[in-house]
A and B are shown apart, each in its own frame.
Chain A
Amino acid sequence: MTLWWIGDVLLIAVVLPVVVYLLKGVLDAARSIEPSVTRIAEAAGAGSKDLDAVPLLLTTQAHVKTTVEVVAGYGGSLDVIIDDAE
């Protein structure tokens, strides 16, 4: 009978607190991940929204090409009408 009581005491005084402590640690760790994941999702969503302007790069690309062509034409004309440096 004494061994039963000793087992009960160990179970209540040692095993139960250890189990609770470990489970609480897992739960706290899982809960601490939640805000981080939420922020990651929000940041990714915002980044994706920012990239909605990427198609404008195609317009920029066309403008740059046109501008360089104009500059080339202008420079070519200057090359014709202005003497080279001695």
Chain B
Amino acid sequence: MPAAGVVLIVAVVLIVLALVYYLLSTIGSLMRITTGLDDAIAAVTEIAEKSAPVEAVVKDINHNLDAGVDLLEGLLVKKAGLVDAMGLVEGLYPGAAATGLRNFPDSAQVRPPRISEVYTKGTLTLARLGREAPIAAASPNGPVLRNIEGGSLDARLLYPEGRQSRPERLPRSPVIGTGAPVQYPPSEQRGGTTPDEGEAREKGPWAETAAQGVVPAELGGSDAPREMLGEDPQLGSEALGETTGSDEPATDTGIDPAAGDEADATTDGGPARPDGEEPDLKDAGAPPRQVDQ
């Protein structure tokens, strides 16, 4: 065989070897690509299956949320009016009024009033609860709605609490006797209640007289100045005692009202005693001894 033929054969063999190597490598690479694409297709199929119901669910959610927004916007505008509504929105979320309400395109053009600086929290609601609401009534302390400092407190005081905590200083329980913070002269009260100005005005002049007591101080009553009293008054004002200022009975059973003006606590008070029964005197005090008498 000539040398040129040998070289030709060698060249062809080299070309074939190169073809085999590269084609096999390409086949391997394409097989790996096919495997990867199979995985990707499977995952994409899962995505498609899992996301299929999303559209319907999200549409339903959006539908419900739209209904909620429509309801709240409509209610706000209906109750507060468009201008005040925008003021309230601006007060809660500064800058939100510029966007406006979705269902009220004109709301974006409204200049929101600075309503949060005028109405304290809850006052506006209370005021709109009705024309008869106490907050809307005339107050001797001035209008509450425009009272920034007092409006909220006054509004909150309209409602009782489970445990009253405001105002911080509650009036103390009434104290009677010599330690009472308010001492009433004996001439002003000798039984019953002393008519105040309103009661005296309602009942007439006689009530004013009753308010002066049995013996007014200027006429020498027991609480008159010392120089107006006798040289040796039998009893000072301290010994005369004073009423409790209350109509509550002093005992559990009270005094039998059937006795009328002659009622006495020793005879008409206490529990009803059965007929024919003698009182138990075992706890009664013993009489003085002979030597002591």
A residues lining the B interface (CB < 8 Å): 1, 4-5, 7-8, 11-12, 15-16, 19-20, 23-24, 26-27, 30-31, 33-34, 37-38, 40-41, 44-45, 47-48, 51-52, 54, 57-58, 60-61, 64-65, 67-68, 71-72, 75, 78-79, 81-86
Contact = CB atoms under 8 A, between A and B. Distances in A.
Given A65-B64, A79-B78, A33 B29 contact: yes
B262 to A, nearest CB: 57
B25 interface: yes
In the complex, the 7 A-B pairs of residues with the closest C-beta atoms, listed nearest first? A44-B43, A23-B22, A37-B36, A4-B4, A85-B81, A30-B29, A51-B50
B67 A41 contact: no
B51 A51 contact: yes
Given A37-B33, A61-B61, A84-B78, A16 B4 contact: no
B29 A79 contact: no
A57 B7 contact: no
Contact of B8 (A7, A38, A67, A82): A7
A8 B47 contact: no
Interface of B: 2, 4-5, 7-8, 11-12, 14-15, 18-19, 21-23, 25-26, 29-30, 32-33, 36-37, 39-40, 42-44, 46-47, 50-51, 53-54, 57-58, 60-61, 64-65, 67-68, 71-72, 75, 77-81, 84, 125, 128-131
A33 B44 CA distance: 18
A30 B64 contact: no
Contacts of A79: 75, 78-79
Given A57-B54, A60-B61, A75-B71, A37 B37 contact: yes
Nearest to A20: B18
Given A23-B22, A51-B46, A82-B125, A34 B36 contact: yes
A16 B43 contact: no
Contact of A11 (B12, B72, B81): B12
A71 B72 contact: yes
A30 B79 contact: no
A71 B40 contact: no
Given A23-B23, A30-B26, A79-B78, A44 B47 contact: yes
Nearest to B8: A8
Nearest to B68: A68
